């Protein structure tokens, strides 16, 4: 293994979003010697409350756009790494309006890569398993780092494009970069438009949850805390130019997840409504994270999905003031889409 990289000043883009803010909390808690600059545009999915209460001498919030080259010229010098979480990430939104996805996920990544090249800053790119398309429900295969790209939505194709840019900048310009592709995250601070928090908050509100299609779509769930520890491991120990898949062997179909939520919240397991499927809805994602575990020694800690789910439900019950402001607008948007 190459010598460990020990960053002291990092920029976390999208650090007020769900997965990014959990990473900021992880770094503050586990790596007291590191200062974090959060760069976030504060779109609907970015919430400064997600990092409220963290020590101000260790976490600084800069409100701005990753597409703003002049801002990056001011901000990047003096930092030794950028961890890039900022992304438009909701599939339904990408189908309704793909343009922000191309702008943020492709152009934004290009701007960050150029800034890293200019100021010789290490770069870690957080991506998704959706770039690989989907697997058949009866296929024993799982995604590996060698799986060909086959994105199917505007969202996943924009993420695939950004991954390709990172690889090109590494090969052409010698950029010190790593990439991770992760499966579906769950945990605190996740926006109520996403599957698990939407179901939890609907049940809290006495609304019957809705399930797409036949409910057999499989996702590979990982607790966001495990994602955070994996990203830190890759940033500090990963080999430049390499891609690592992050997963915790958490394959579950949507109907199983919904029934587990209903059961944990004291409801009958069939207390939900079916709705028509999303266009081009991927059937199954599944990650083989052998390379990450074998090469870098990472292991997930939150491997009991039921207890992770119960902790997540408890968080949403206790933080109604956090999700309540976004709930009505989210449900109104879904109603318009017939979902």
Give the number of other Cβ atoms within 10 Å of residue 266's Cβ. Answer: 7
Q: Could you tell me which residues are beta bridge partners of residue 59?
A: 36
Does the active-site annotation cover 56? no
Angle, nearest 10°, between helix axes 224-237 and 18-30?
Answer: 60
Angstrom distance (rounded) from CA 90 to CA 92: 6
The neighbouring-strand residues paired with 210 are 273
C-beta of residue 4 within 8 angstroms of C-beta of residue 77: no
> Of the listed 40, 130, 220, 225, which one is catalytic?
130
H or E stretch including 268? none
Q: Which region, left, alpha or beta, applies to residue 338 given φ > 0 means left and ψ of -120 to 50 means alpha?
A: left
| Euclidean distance between CA atoms 239 and 179, whole angstroms | 10
Active-site entry in 65, 88, 129, 226: 129
Contact between 210 and 272 under an 8 Å Cβ cutoff? The reply is yes
Backbone angles phi, psi at 148, to 5 degrees: -65, 150
Is 165 in contact with 110 (CB distance < 8 Å)?
yes
In the residue annotation, 130 being an active-site residue is answered as yes
Helices marked H in the chain: 18-30, 69-75, 91-96, 99-101, 108-119, 154-173, 195-204, 224-237, 254-264, 290-296, 305-318, 320-336
CA distances from 156 to 105, 171, 210, 253, 338 (A): 10, 23, 24, 20, 23
Distance, in Å, from the CA atom of 104 to the CA atom of 86, rounded to the nearest integer, reads 8
Measured between its terminal Cα atoms, the distance across the chain in Å is 49
Cβ neighbourhood burial of 167 (10 Å; 0-12, 13-18, 19+): middle
- Our answer to whether residue 97 is catalytic in this structure is no
Catalytic pick among 123, 155, 285, 316: 155
Active site residues: 129-130, 155
């Amino acid at each position: 293994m190459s010598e460990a990289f020990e960053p002291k000043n990092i920029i976390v883009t999208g650090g007020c979003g769900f997965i990014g803010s959990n990473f900021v909390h992880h770094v503050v808690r586990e790596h007291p010697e590191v200062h974090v600059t959060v760069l976030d545009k504060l779109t609907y999915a970015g919430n400064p409350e997600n990092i409220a209460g963290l020590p101000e001498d260790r976490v600084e919030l800069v409100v701005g756009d990753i597409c703003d080259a002049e801002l990056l010229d001011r901000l990047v010098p003096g930092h030794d790494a950028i961890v890039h979480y900022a992304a438009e990430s909701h599939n339904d939104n990408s189908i309704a309006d793909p343009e922000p996805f191309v702008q943020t996920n492709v152009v934004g990544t290009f701007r960050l890569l150029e800034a890293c090249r200019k100021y010789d800053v290490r770069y870690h790119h957080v991506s998704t398993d959706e770039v690989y398309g989907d697997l058949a429900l009866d296929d024993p295969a799982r995604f590996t780092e060698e799986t060909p790209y086959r994105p199917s939505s505007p969202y996943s194709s924009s993420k695939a494009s950004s991954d390709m840019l990172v690889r090109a900048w590494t090969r052409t310009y010698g950029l010190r970069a790593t990439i991770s592709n992760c499966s579906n995250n769950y945990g605190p601070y996740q926006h109520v438009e996403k599957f698990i928090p939407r179901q939890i908050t609907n049940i809290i509100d006495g609304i019957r949850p809705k399930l797409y299609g036949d409910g057999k779509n499989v996702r590979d769930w990982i607790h966001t805390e495990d994602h955070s520890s994996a990203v830190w491991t890759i940033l500090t120990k990963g080999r430049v130019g390499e891609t690592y898949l992050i997963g915790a062997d958490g394959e579950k179909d949507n109907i199983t997840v919904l029934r587990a939520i209903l059961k944990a919240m004291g409801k009958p397991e069939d207390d939900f409504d079916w709705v028509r499927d999303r266009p081009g809805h991927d059937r199954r994602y599944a990650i083989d994270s052998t390379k990450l575990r074998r090469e870098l020694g990472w292991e997930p800690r939150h491997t009991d999905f039921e207890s992770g789910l119960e902790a997540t439900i408890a968080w949403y019950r206790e933080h109604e003031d956090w999700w309540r402001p976004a709930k009505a607008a989210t449900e109104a948007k879904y109603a318009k889409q017939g979902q």
